[in-house]
Every structure is written in C-alpha cells, then in structure tokens.
Amino acid sequence: MENIWFSAALWLGLALLATLLSIWLGLSVALTEIVVGVAAQLGVGAALGPKVLGAEQGWIVFLAGVGSIVLTFLAGAELEPEAFRKSWKEATVLGLAAFLAPFLGVAAIAHYLLGWAAQPAWLAGVALSTTSVAVVYAVMLELGLNKTAYGKLILAACFVNDLATVVALGLLFAPFGLRTLLFALGLAGGLFVLLKVTGPFFQKYGGRTSELEAKFLLFALFALGGLAVWSGSEAVLPAYLVGMVLAGTVGKDHALVRRLRTLTFGFLTPFYFIRAGSLVQMPVLVSGFGVFAALLLGKMLTKFVGVFPVTHRYRYPQGESMYTTLLMSTGLTFGTISALYGLSHGIISAAQYSYLVAAVIASAVVPTWLANRFFLPRRHLEQVPKSTQEVAA
C-alpha cells in the first residue's frame, strides 16, 4: 500500500477490531490480535493482494520491534527486587525446567519423527523451548496478576527460560567472539550506570509535560538494543534486564508506568502481535499440517513434562499447576527470532521455517486460551482489585 496513512489506518483498524473481540469474547487482547493478524493476512491478502497488509514494510517492522522491546521492559519493571529475592530459587527451577524439557524433547521429535537433520532439529528445539514474556505479561496485566507474588514469580521464570534459550542459541549456532564480549561488558556497564543515574536524574528533571522520563528510557533501550544487534544478538534481550534494574525506580512510579502502558498497548504492541499472526503461511500449513501439529503438540507436551512436576514439587493447587504450565508453554518473540536466525544462516529451509513460526505463534494462542478458559487461578484473582481485571473470568 503506497499511501502510508491508509496503511496505518488499516493496522489500527485491525487493532481496534481485536480489542473489541477481546471484550466481547472475554479473551486476552494479545491473543485476539494474533488471530486477527492471521485472518487479515488471509482475507486482505486474498481480496487485495498479499502486499496490501505490508507486514514487511520497514516502519511496521520497526514499530513491532519497539512494541516487543517496551513490553518486555515493562515486564521486567514489574518484578520487584525484594519479591524476586524471595522466590529466585523457585523461579530458576521453573524456568530451567520449562527450557530443558522442550529443548531436548522437540529436538528429538524433529530428528527422529520428522526426519530433520541434526542442526535443524536442534534449532527447532531452541525455537520451541521459549516462553513468551510479552504474551504472559500482557495476560497478567489484563487480569491484574502482575501485582501479585504469583504473577511476579511466573514473569521471573519466563525470563530464566528465555535467557537459557538465548544462551543455547549462542552456544550451538553463534560462537562467542570479541563482539559478544564487548556486548556483555557494555550491557553490564550500561545497567550499572542506569541503576545509579536514573533515580536522581528523574527527581531533578522529571515530572514535566515534555515526558523526559519516556525519552530517557527509550534512549537507553534503543542504545543497548543497538549494541545487542551489533554483537549478533537481538535488541529485545537487554530490555528485560533494564526493566529489572529499574524496577525500584520506574516500577514504583505508577503514573509513569501508566503512561508507558498507554503508549505500548494503545499503539505499539498491536503492530507486534498482529504482525506475528500475519507471518503464518496457511498454504504451507495445509500441505504439511502433520509437521506443524507434531511440533506444536511436541512443545506443549514437553512443557507439561518439564513444568507440571515442578509445580507439584512446590505444592501448587491442581488448577494453578495447569495454569502455570500452560502459560509457560506460550512462545512468540524469542521463538520467531530463533527461527529467523536459522533461516537467515542456512540452518533450516524456508518450509521448516514456516512450520516453526506457525508452531511458535500457535503456542501463543492455544495455551493462553486453555489457561484463561479453564484454569484461572481464582485464589490469586481474589487478591486483585476488580477495577484492574479486564478479562472475564
């Protein structure tokens, strides 16, 4: 679409439709935006041509990327340092279990059942071992669970899971070099400076209509994200760490957090979630539905094998165990990043990439719907003010 304003109107119209559907159906808006993205690619593409939606246009890719970065940052900012210190062992065990079981299990399924070579099979294991911080945080925020100790624990476990995924991707396919070392040093230095400077800087210059705080945070996220991309990593990786470091500053400024949420959920994340849905190539899935189903079921079953016993070890109630397991089964950001890395470096074929991306995106939809439809943790919801709950129980 040549007229950028018509294109923007189309995307925000889809976002509005997805929001209305989430209200009418009582579903997470992240889920409905993904589904609307799939439907839009089919409907708009069939009626007006595959390029009309323009999911690969540079400005849409950029806004989607910013959405994932800021959303991940907000998830990290919700993690209170004191709460994390109290539950870090449980979060680490949950996160590592959620990584190891699908990493090994899906790799075995891809190699022995689907007949993929060793390298593509390991890449499939990496891509489907993730848990989506973006999806989980969006669901937690809509339900109000982000304010509970339970919600903060799950978000911390998601971070551990995705950190293990990034490390595995690097060790298996992107050997560490000088740029990686410089990125690690730069990230550590940047986090230290942010920890020491942000609070006093905001106290002295913040609280004005110029929104200095938002500009400062976006500058830091973009700078560290650029350093990550330069090193061969991904821009979203530092965002959660920045959020965690600034949880004691940004996380306690409720007015600032509300303004950032307005920017993120009102404008940025619809591009991220709708674009994710639009990447599903239905003709490929129809011709190879068995491969797609094996990968999706493989991820969900191995997540269950890994996470469910851990929740019992920590004496979660039955329904809460299932809810936790299903949320830890979601995937999106790092899963698609891993699949795209494999395609761009010749590790997997275009068809394998389509199957993996479809399975990753489906894992953002199916477990989320099952969790919110059948296994809502009501004892935790009772701790949440009714005004903060946006999804029907």
| Terminal C-alpha separation, the chain | 40
Phi-psi region of 366 (alpha: psi -120 to 50; beta: other; left: phi over 0): alpha
Centre a 10 Å sphere on the Cβ of residue 135 and count the other Cβ atoms it contains. Answer: 27
Residue pLDDT, tens place only, 311-370:
989 888 888 899 999 999 998 878 887 887 788 678 988 889 889 988 988 898 899 999
Structure token pair of residue 284:
């490929």
Give the pLDDT confidence score for residue 391 in this predicted structure: 45
Give the pLDDT confidence score for residue 1 in this predicted structure: 54
Domain ranges of the chain: 4-381
Residue pLDDT, tens place only, 56-80:
888 999 999 899 899 888 878 877 6
- Between 383 and 306, the higher pLDDT residue: 306
Q: Is the pTM of this model over 0.85?
A: no
> Considering the domain 4-381 in this protein, what is its CATH number?
1.20.1530.20
Instruction: Kindly tell me if the per-residue pLDDT of 390 is higher than 60.
Output: no
Gyration radius of the chain over CA positions = 20
What lies within 8 Å, CB to CB, of 36 at 6+ separation is 14, 17, 18, 21, 274, 277
Q: Mapping DSSP to helix (H, G, I), strand (E, B) and coil, where does residue 388 land?
A: helix
Contact call for residues 74 and 261 (beta carbons, < 8 A): yes
In a 10 Å sphere around its CB, with 0-12 CB exposed, 13-18 middle and 19+ buried, how is residue 254 labelled? exposed
Which of 212-221's residues contact partners 24+ apart within 8 Å by CB, and which partners? 213/250, 213/253, 213/256, 214/256, 214/259, 214/260, 214/263, 217/73, 217/242, 217/246, 217/250, 217/260, 218/70, 220/190, 220/194, 221/69, 221/70, 221/73
Give the pLDDT confidence score for residue 150 in this predicted structure: 87
Give the pLDDT confidence score for residue 383 in this predicted structure: 64
Q: What is the length of the chain?
A: 393
